[in-house]
Chains A and B, each alone.
Chain A
Amino acid sequence: MHKDRAVWLPALLLVVALPQVQAAEWSEWLVNGRYQHFYTENIGKTSFDEVVRSENIHELRFELGRVLQVTDSARLRILADLRHQSHRRFDQLDRTDPGLSLGLRNKSGLGPSAWWQELLLSYQEISPDDPLREGHQQSFGLAVGRRFSERFDGVLSWSRVSRDGGTGEPRAVDLTRPTDVFDQSADVLRLQWNTVLSENWLMAASLSRQHGDFDSQCPNSGVTQVVATVNPAALSLDVNVFGSCIYRTDGNIDVLDLEWVWNISHHISASLLLRHQDGGGPELGYHNKAAQLEVSYQF
Chain B
Amino acid sequence: MRRNLIATALLIMSSALLAQDMRIKVINQRGEPVAGAVVYVVTSLPADKQPTTAEPVIIDQINKEFVPHISAIAAGTAVKFPNRDNIRHHVYSFSPAKSFELPLYKDAPPAPVVFEKPGIVTLGCNIHDWMTSYIFVAPHRYFTVTGKDGSATMRDLPAQALEFEVWHPRQKEVATVTRQLVATGGMTLAFRIEEKTVLRPFRGQANSKNSY
Contact between A69 and B104, CB atoms less than 8 A apart? yes
Contact between A107 and B212, CB atoms less than 8 A apart? yes
How far is B20's CA from A249's CA once the two chains are assembled, in angstroms? 84
- Tell me how far the C-beta of A79 lies from the nearest C-beta in chain B, rounded to whole angstroms: 11
Mask, B182-199, CB within 8 Å of A = 1, is 000000000000000111
Q: Which of B198, B201, B202, B208 is most buried by chain A, counting CB atoms within 10 A of its CB?
A: B202
**B68 at interface by CB-CB < 8 Å:** no
- Tell me how far the C-beta of A69 lies from the nearest C-beta in chain B, rounded to whole angstroms: 6
- Tell me how far the C-beta of B86 lies from the nearest C-beta in chain A, rounded to whole angstroms: 8
- Kindly report which residue of chain A lies nearest to residue B198, judged by CB atoms: A199
In the complex, which of the residues B104, B202, B204, B207 contacts A72, with contact meaning CB atoms closer than 8 Å?
Answer: B104
How far is B92's CA from A266's CA once the two chains are assembled, in angstroms? 22
- Tell me how far the C-beta of A187 lies from the nearest C-beta in chain B, rounded to whole angstroms: 23
How far is B199's CA from A241's CA once the two chains are assembled, in angstroms? 48
**B124 at interface by CB-CB < 8 Å:** yes
In the complex, which of the residues B94, B104, B203, B205 contacts A32, with contact meaning CB atoms closer than 8 Å?
Answer: B205
**B209 at interface by CB-CB < 8 Å:** yes
Interface range, B side: 20 to 34
How far is B129's CA from A69's CA once the two chains are assembled, in angstroms? 15
Contact between B103 and A72, CB atoms less than 8 A apart? yes
For chain A, residues 146 to 173, give those with C-beta under 8 angstroms from any C-beta of chain B: 147, 150-151, 153, 155
Contact between B90 and A266, CB atoms less than 8 A apart? no
Mask, A248-282, CB within 8 Å of B = 1, is 00000000000001111111110100000000000
In the complex, which of the residues A23, A25, A261, A298 contacts B209, with contact meaning CB atoms closer than 8 Å?
Answer: A261
Given contacts A69-B104, A72-B103, A196-B199, contact A202 B129 (CB under 8 A): no
**A297 at interface by CB-CB < 8 Å:** yes
Q: Which residues of A contact B124 (CB under 8 A)?
A: 110-112
Mask, B117-145, CB within 8 Å of A = 1, is 00000001011010000000000000000
**B12 at interface by CB-CB < 8 Å:** no
In terms of DSSP, what is the predominant structure of the interface of chain A? strand
Given contacts A32-B205, A110-B94, contact A147 B210 (CB under 8 A): yes
- Kindly report which residue of chain B lies nearest to residue A145, judged by CB atoms: B210
Contact between A265 and B204, CB atoms less than 8 A apart? yes
In the complex, which of the residues B88, B126, B197, B210 contacts A194, with contact meaning CB atoms closer than 8 Å?
Answer: B210
In the complex, which of the residues A105, A107, A192, A268 contacts B126, with contact meaning CB atoms closer than 8 Å?
Answer: A107
Contact between B204 and A263, CB atoms less than 8 A apart? yes
Contact between A69 and B88, CB atoms less than 8 A apart? yes
Q: Which residues of A contact B94 (CB under 8 A)?
A: 110-111
Q: Which residues of B contact A268 (CB under 8 A)?
A: 204-205
Given contacts A153-B210, A196-B202, A261-B206, contact A111 B90 (CB under 8 A): no
Known: A72-B103, A110-B92. 9 other contacts (CB 8 A): A27-B87, A111-B126, A112-B201, A114-B126, A145-B210, A196-B199, A202-B210, A268-B204, A298-B204
Chain B residues packing against A (C-beta within 8 Å): 87-88, 90, 92, 94, 101, 103-104, 124, 126-127, 129, 197-212
User: Could you jot down 10 A-B contacts, CB within 8 Å?
Assistant: A23-B104, A111-B94, A145-B210, A151-B199, A196-B202, A198-B199, A202-B210, A267-B204, A267-B205, A298-B208
Which 9 A-B residue pairs are closest in the complex by CB-CB distance? A269-B205, A112-B129, A27-B87, A296-B205, A261-B206, A150-B199, A263-B206, A194-B210, A153-B210
Chain A residues packing against B (C-beta within 8 Å): 23, 25, 27-28, 32, 34, 69, 72-73, 75, 105, 107, 110-112, 114, 116, 145, 147, 150-151, 153, 155, 192, 194, 196, 198-199, 202, 204, 261-269, 271, 296-298
